[in-house]
Structure 1
Amino acid sequence: MFSIKTLFPILPLMTVSVTTVNAWASDNHTCALTQPIYSCENSTQIVDTCCTPIQGLVLVTQFWDTYTGLEDQGSVLPKDSWTIHGLWPDRCDGSYGQYCDLSRQYDPVPSPNTTTGKSDGTPVPAWTGGDVITPLLQQYGKYDLLAYIQKYWKSQNSPDWTFWQHEFSKHATCFSTYDVGFEGVPDCYGSLYQNSTEASIIDFIQSVIKSQIQYPTYEWLAENEIKPSNQTGYKLFDIQNVLTQKSGGEPYLGCSGPTKQVLSEIWYYSHSLGRPQDSFLKPINQTTKSNCNQTQPIWYYERSQGSEY
């Protein structure tokens, strides 16, 4: 197949215009000429799955942990901020896939250990090759991205890179807009990059950061006098109401403990205008219900001593 780059110098302009029609069937997916649509709101078939996610219910998810478990190794939590959990693609009906591309499986502890939606329950092999994300970001000079996730994308009781690679392998590989050609799907990066897999990893990390910055949970709560405390509990309604007003959609609040009173995570639901990479997210209400106790105080605990900087 001739590329536009090859044809352009020798053919008239009109011939080039005709030839570009064939580019839609190739690995040219810049999406610049594709009219963006909101995921899960389209009434017609998606023309280019690299430009609109098939699993288009996009979740921006965060943790409130009080310790890392690796403080003695210098791993601590960022002051006055929730930490990143991930960026997830759910199907429009609320179901979801996971580990959708085993050629990009870098999770050292896959959980659960079989792929969803595979009739044969294909096992997900554990990754034994160590940290791939840190050296990749260093190789391409993405030191700002690396510094950000080292501070804000924290794991608990394991090195941070294991969590980053878990999130990429389990979730990013199910976003069609990050596809790299596995099992016949399009390669959304094509000939623009020497290595589409590396491009998809960096692309995903940038997307995670861009989406997380749009949801400053700690700041929103603090502005309304809801701050971490070991003495004062809060009403679930008050927390939910603040975050709904600030974000534009009702988020899912996750609580832990036997009575579900310890605030530990949040999921913001959205539809994506075009690619999630561009982070044009339209807030919507949660499609499930928060599991927190609705009648007893919710505890938003302070960080453990020595676990925050």
Structure 2
Amino acid sequence: MSFARASIGLIALAASVSASIKTCSNNNTLSCHSSSKAGTCCYNYPGGALLQTQFWDTDPVSGPTDSWTIHGLWPDNCDGTYESNCDESRAYTNITEILKAQDRTDLLSYMEDYWVDINGDSESFWEHEWGKHGTCVNTIKPSCYSNYSPQEEVGDFFQKTVDLFKGLDTYKALSDAGITPDESKTYTLSEIHGKLNQAWYFFNVRGNAITGKYQAADTLTKASCPSSGIKYVPKSN
């Protein structure tokens, strides 16, 4: 699938994280920038690159007409490969109930608007994203918490993904560059990168995936895109 990438600066987002997650010092090595072959609660490995991915769904339409929607937060092995479904024992199938039990109703409400499944089954979509990708983020394993409460890391994962998404307004960034949805207008590759149905933002992280500092990184994948005739169609019925 084609993708678009935008470069942004250092990100340090305040999030509603669990108080019991272990803290990391300010001089942690940036992920993907060490010869170490081991992960710790303060060093993301092997999934050292984290991708915040977004959708622009038009057939059928999902999410607000003036916003992209969340796909997920994916750990990448710093080379375009990735692990998946890393801990079947934590592949929970009750994300909504977990978030409600953690009193994250505001988060859940936001997800219902901006993290939506194209077929209308958002719960299954969230379960898939957590089981396939969330369980592979080594810095949010239960052992990385003090006084750990079961499933605590699940809420932190979804909160962090939403917080990153809120700071990466793809619709506005494109609009500010004069690139807006249109049924007939096309763009060249020099204007935008890829067919606009998905955007991937690549980061390395200094510290753990929840409280660490995210730094924009170059793309780890290559897309085969036409040089012109690229469409960005509006969401409509």
TM interval, short-chain normalised: 0.7 to 0.9
Whether 1:285 and 2:215 are equivalent positions in the alignment is no
| Offset of residue 45 of structure 1 | 5.8
Which aligned pairs between 1:59-78 and structure 2 lie closer than 5 A? 59-68=51-60, 76-78=62-64
SS in 2 for 1:278: coil
Question: Which residue pairs with 1:101 in the alignment?
Answer: 87
- Distance in 2 of aligned mates of 1:56 and 1:166: 21
* Equivalent position amino acid for 1:160 in 2: S
Question: Which residue pairs with 2:162 in the alignment?
Answer: 209
Task: Tell which structure's C-alpha radius of gyration is larger.
Answer: 1
Deviations 1:144-183 (A, max 9, x none): 1011111110111141111111111000111101223xxx
RMSD: 2.1
Residues 269 and 283 of structure 1 are in contact (CA less than 8 Å); yes or no, is this contact kept in structure 2? yes
TM-score by length of 2: 0.84
Q: Tell me: higher relative CO, structure 1 or 2? Use CA pairs within 8 A at least 6 residues apart.
A: 2
Kindly report structure 1 stretches of 4+ aligned residues shifted beyond 6 Å: none
Whether 1:222 and 2:175 are equivalent positions in the alignment is yes
Which aligned pairs between 1:1-309 and structure 2 lie closer than 5 A? 30-33=22-25, 35-44=27-36, 49-54=40-45, 55-68=47-60, 76-106=62-92, 132-180=94-142, 187-190=143-146, 192-195=147-150, 198-240=151-193, 253=194, 255=195, 263-278=196-211, 280-294=213-227, 296-305=228-237
Question: Which residue pairs with 1:112 in the alignment?
Answer: none
Deviations 1:268-297 (A, max 9, x none): 111111112125211121122123322x31
SS in 1 for 2:191: helix
- Distance in 2 of aligned mates of 1:34 and 1:232: 47
Residues 78 and 220 of structure 2 are in contact (CA less than 8 Å); yes or no, is this contact kept in structure 1? no
| Offset of residue 33 of structure 1 | 4.5
* Equivalent position amino acid for 2:217 in 1: I
TM-score by length of 1: 0.65
Residues 273 and 133 (structure 1 numbering): CA distance in 2 closer, same or farther, change over 3 Å?
Answer: same
Residues 218 and 29 (structure 1 numbering): CA distance in 2 closer, same or farther, change over 3 Å?
Answer: closer
- Distance in 2 of aligned mates of 1:265 and 1:29: 32
Residues 285 and 165 (structure 1 numbering): CA distance in 2 closer, same or farther, change over 3 Å?
Answer: same
Q: Structure 2, unaligned stretches of length 5 or more? A: 1-19
- Distance in 2 of aligned mates of 1:279 and 1:30: 11
Residues 175 and 268 (structure 1 numbering): CA distance in 2 closer, same or farther, change over 3 Å?
Answer: same
- Distance in 1 of aligned mates of 2:81 and 2:26: 27
Q: Structure 1, unaligned stretches of length 5 or more? A: 1-27, 70-75, 107-128, 181-186, 241-252, 256-262
Higher normalized helix content (fraction of residues) = 1
Q: Count how many residue pairs are aligned between Structure 1 and Structure 2.
A: 217
* Equivalent position amino acid for 1:170 in 2: K
